[in-house]
A and B are shown apart, each in its own frame.
Chain A
Amino acid sequence: MRRLVLLVLAFLLPVLPAGAERLISGISNDTIQITSSFSGERLTFFGTIAPEAGSTERTVDGPFDVVIAIVGPTQDRVAREKTNNFGIWLNTEQVEFKRFPSYFHVLSSRRLIEIADINLLNANFILPEAHAMIPNAAGFMKTLIFGRELIRLMSQDGLFGVQENGVQFLSDTFYSAQLTLPSSAPPGPYIAQTYLFKNGEIVARKSEGFAVRKIDFERFLAQSATQYPLFYGLACVVLALFTGWLGGVLFRR
């Protein structure tokens, strides 16, 4: 019995090192509401690094690095390549990326390369490229090329991004970070995963969710369009006929 306890302890010990840290974190808003005047929204992430609950230590010693990865709802997306055929530019090749994030931003307190090894970052999906490296039916080389182009296009639209000075330490253990969500950020559930790095290793992580939601009229319109498309279409037609008729009446000379 004692041997068994020792064995269990031996397994547990590396998981709970002596000076274990934990993250206490929060987000300024847990829902972002899309109204008719929605033109993007600013979010603040903040948190503090504290000793593990129940630990005898009163302080934590750094230096620490904090990386926050914000992932939006996933969609199937294709990247397409145009080639010139007989003088006309056509989409000839395409690679589909299943369940690709519609939004992905990384905020970090330092250059990611200096924080940790690239393999560790990739394994935890902290780098944008990691999302395009999932094995794909198109084959390795095409996935690599189209994946890189897809990430470039997403970055141009402000949907993907890395801000390597996005996290500021206000004291040794207190950090905050700001993110401006663009108006093109698709509605849905978002996850903000915060990683605490020490000496190139992840020592703590915490995830929080927030939602981007259409509310009121926008929500009503979007839901009608997908759930009652026939009535939505008829409503469009009635609106068009009415507007046309009204225009004729108002301006009749």
Chain B
Amino acid sequence: MQIYLPIAELSVNLFFLVGIGGAVGFLSGLFGVGGGFLLTPLLIFSGVPTSVAVASVTGQVVAASTSGALSHYRRGGIDLHLAMYLILSGILGAFGGVAAFSILRANGQLDLVIAVGFVVLLGFVGTLMLQESVRAILKTRKGVVVRERLPNQHSWIHGLPWRVRFKKSRLYISVLPVLVIGLFIGFVGSLLGIGGGFVMVPALVYLLRVPGNVVIGTSLMQVVAMMAATTVMHAVQSQSVDILLAFCLMVGGTAGAQFGAAAGQHLRGEQLRGLLAILVLAVAIRFGLSLVMTPSDVYSMAVTSAVR
């Protein structure tokens, strides 16, 4: 069944949209990530204009993260104080990201920057995650008890000025790294159409030493608020949010996420992280290939003004 997308101005198979929404939702539920980093590339590779794909997935990420954020909130798994700093700086970063998005789109370099962004970010994060999970898997094989780093092990990052006490995370740290992380994820997330959870969680754990019981909830909270703001900004600035496209993805995504979460309980943490790392690297490689392989057509076209 074909459905006409009013902003993308093309008709797409409804079952295809709900299907990829569901498949990505399953994976996002399985790994506990928003899934934007999979959905945006899938839409781009299936012919949706890059700008519409990025802006609409932003809306989908909000939906995908909401149910998770709510359940963490009920369990008290969110450090609201820390989330507030991350959200405010994230929204500031998103302003920059959306502005850069518009400029790049006008110059014809949006696709390139998105591809390079995915290669660098996903390649880097994927490699780190893979290393870490392989090491953890090998250690458990050998029967070594993996000692988790304690939150009170400080590094130079904690010695920066403007220290604030985050009660729930049991941290007394400088706000500077918090704001930098928020700004960076806001900028990159709005530019690439990803929630950035898979960057945020490691950053909070390894850089700030946020304890495990609040890290996922706080990250989800930040993703919901920041991506909600980004959706509005994209709608105002580039007018490329396709609500129908986003809704189809949301429906598939929220349903798929529930099954993914159930399936995830049968796998061990480091195995899950290893699989996620492979997935992340695969997307990075796919984008990398699109940059270096001879394109099937060296010419492309784009519309630079509205219909008149």
Instruction: Known A83-B298, A102-B307; judge A236-B243 contact (CB<8 A).
Output: yes
Instruction: Flag the segment in B62-70, B144-152, B163-171, B269-277 that touches A.
Output: B62-70
Q: Mark B264-298, 1 if CB is under 8 A from A, else 0.
A: 00000000000000000000000000011111011
Chain B residues near A149 (CB, 8 Å)? 299
Closest residue of chain A to B300 (Cβ to Cβ) is A80
Closest residue of chain B to A236 (Cβ to Cβ) is B59
Interface residues on A, range: 35 or more
- A251 touches B (CB below 8 Å): yes
Chain A residues near B291 (CB, 8 Å)? 88-89
Q: How far is the CA of A82 from the CA of B297 in the complex (A)?
A: 8
Closest residue of chain A to B60 (Cβ to Cβ) is A240
Contact B307 A77 (CB under 8 A): no
Chain B residues near A221 (CB, 8 Å)? 6-7, 243-244
Contact A73 B2 (CB under 8 A): no
Q: How far is the CA of A150 from the CA of B241 in the complex (A)?
A: 27
Q: B243 contacts which of A37, A38, A226, A235 (Cβ < 8 Å)? A: A235
Contact B60 A79 (CB under 8 A): no
Q: A230 contacts which of B65, B236, B244 (Cβ < 8 Å)? A: B236
Listed in ascending order, the chain A residues whose CB lies under 8 Å from chain B are: 34-39, 73-84, 87-91, 94, 96, 102, 146, 149-150, 152-154, 183-184, 186-188, 214, 218-219, 221-222, 225-226, 229-230, 232-237, 239-241, 243-248, 251-253
List 16 contacting pairs A-B, 8 Å CB cutoff, sorted by A: A35-B4, A37-B1, A37-B4, A38-B2, A75-B307, A152-B299, A188-B307, A233-B232, A233-B233, A236-B235, A236-B243, A240-B231, A243-B247, A244-B70, A245-B67, A248-B67
Listed in ascending order, the chain B residues whose CB lies under 8 Å from chain A are: 1-4, 6-7, 9-11, 59-60, 62-68, 70-71, 108-109, 111-112, 224, 228, 231-236, 239, 241, 243-244, 246-247, 250-251, 254-255, 257-258, 262, 291-295, 297-308
